[in-house]
Each structure stands twice: as C-alpha cells, then as structure tokens.
Structure 1
Amino acid sequence: MRLWSLHPKYLDAQGLVALWREALLAQAVLHGETRGYRNHPQLDRFKNHTAPLVAISLYLKGIHAETVARGYAFDKSKIKPAQEVVALTVTTGQMQYEWEHLLAKLKVRNPALYRKWRVTEVPEAHPMFSVRAGDIESWERQ
C-alpha cells in the first residue's frame, strides 16, 4: 500500500489507478469494514488524525479531482461523505523520499513521464497536505 503525499498529477495512469484502489482500501480499514491492512504503517497518519474518517475522505476527493481532470470516470460515490475540512502535514524529507521513489518507478514504467517530471526540484503535495520542514516520517518503511 502506498498512499502518496505527492500530488496525484505526478502519477502515471497505472499509479493513479493503484492509488485510488489503495485509498479506497484504506477508507474501508478506517471504517472497520475489513480485517486486512489494519496495521499498515501508511495508515498511521490517518489513524493518528483527530478526524481520521474525514481525512481519508478528503484524501480520496483529491485523487478523484485528478481523475476528473484526466477525463477518467472513477465512481465518486465510493467516497464516504465528509462534512468538515481537515488537513494533514507532511515533512520535506518525506516528500523528497517519495519523489525519488516515484521517479525511480516512472523511469522504468513510463520513461516519457519520467523525463517530464525529473526536472521538478520541489514537487507539490496532495492538496490536503501542508509541507513542513523535517526528516522522513516515522511511519515510512524504507
């Protein structure tokens, strides 16, 4: 499971579809609708949020917005409703780690997209994240 802190615009089609599915799984885990993945470290930042169900819904909405921008027809009704707006933070170290991880994937899987994004020095975060200085997050498994 990889719940990217990066803006979903950087993902290739395969990565965006995988993110959508994994975020839906994360939503099911946080709602207690599945047994698997309950202790996955990628879920820690959502679990530790004061409103984890709202946070995962907003995360999914950010992914869905990218799919709409690309002309995909992902089912928005799969996102559980969220009545409030919350934010998460992510560290600069985590963003850099994820950026290098994504570029390595794209270099193999989608060389054209890799060439497009490799010149980006400071990638944008997913819309619900604010970036703060810091090392790689404690929940990241390197």
Structure 2
Amino acid sequence: MRLWSLHPKYLDCKGLVALWREGLLARTVLKGETRGYRNHPQLERFKNQPDPVVAIDTYLLNVYKESQLRGYKFNRGKIGDKFTNYKIEVTRGQILYELEHLKRKLDVRDHVRYLELENLDIPLINPIFKVVEGDVEPWELVH
C-alpha cells in the first residue's frame, strides 16, 4: 500500500488507479471493516487524526478530482460526503523521498512521464497535507 503525499497529478495512469484502489482499501481498514492491513505503516498519519475516515475521504476526494481531470470514471460514491479543512503535517524529507521513489518507478514504467518529472525538485502535494521541516517520516519503509 502506498498513499502518496505527492499531488496525484504526478502519477501515471497505473499509479493513479492503484492509488484510488489502495486508498479505498485504507478507508475500509480505517472504518474497521477488514482485519487485514490494520497495522500498515502508511495508515498511521490518518489514524492519528480526530476523524480518520473523514481524513482519508478528504485525501481520496483529491485523488478523485485528478481522475476527473483525466477523464477517468472513478466511483465518487465510494467515499463519504464529509471532508475536513485541517491539514495533516508531512515532512519535507518525506516529500523528497517520495519524489525520488516515484521517479524510479516511472523511469521503468512510464519513461515519458519520468522525463516530465526528471528535473522537478519541489513537488506539489495532496492538498490535505502541509509540509513541515523534517526527515523521512518514521512510518516510511525506506528501501
């Protein structure tokens, strides 16, 4: 499971579809409707919010909006109708780690998209997040 902090606009089509699918799985976990993935480290920042389901729905709404811009037909009915205005902190180190991780994936999977991002140094993030100073997040499994 990878719940990117980066803005979904940077993902290729496979990445965006996977993010939607994995985000919906995360939502199911946060609602307590499945036994698997309950301790997945990518869920920590959502679990720590006042309402984890509203937080993941807000995250997924931003993924959904990107899908609409691309003409995809993601099912909006799979997420709720309550969203939050608060921001979840994410460290600059995490953003930079994810950017390099995504570039490596795209270099193999979608070289044209990789070339578009190759020289990107300061990426946009999913609007639910706000960047704070710091290293890679402790929940990240660094490879």
TM range (shorter): over 0.9
Deviation by residue 1:5-34 (Cα, 9 ceiling, x = unmatched)? 000000000000000000000000000111
Percent identity over paired residues: 54
| Equivalent residue, structure 2, for 1:111 | 111
Find the counterpart in structure 2 of residue 44 from structure 1.
44
Q: Distance in 1 between matches of 2:35 and 2:86?
A: 26
TM-score normalized with structure 1 length: 0.97
1:31 paired residue number: 31
Unpaired runs of 5+ in structure 1?
none
TM-score (norm 2): 0.96
Unaligned runs of 5+ in 2: none
Provide runs of 4+ in structure 1 moved above 3 Å: none
Matched residue type, 1:112: V
Task: Indicate yes or no: 2:76 matched with 1:89.
Answer: no
Cα deviation digits, residues 37-72 of structure 1 (max 9, x gap): 000000000001122111001000000000001111
Match runs of 1:1-142 below 5 Å: 1-142=1-142
Distance 1:90 1:51 in 2: 18
Query: What's the offset of the Cα at 1:94?
Result: 0.1
1: distance between equivalents of 2:33 and 2:62?
Answer: 22
User: 77-86 vs 48-57, which deviates more?
Assistant: 77-86
Superposed displacement of residue 83, structure 1: 4.9
Cα pair 1:62 1:126 within 8 Å, conserved: yes
Distance 1:139 1:130 in 2: 17
Is the contact made by 1:55 and 1:87 (CA closer than 8 Å) also made in structure 2?
no
CA distance in 2, matches of 1:50, 1:75: 26
RMSD: 0.9
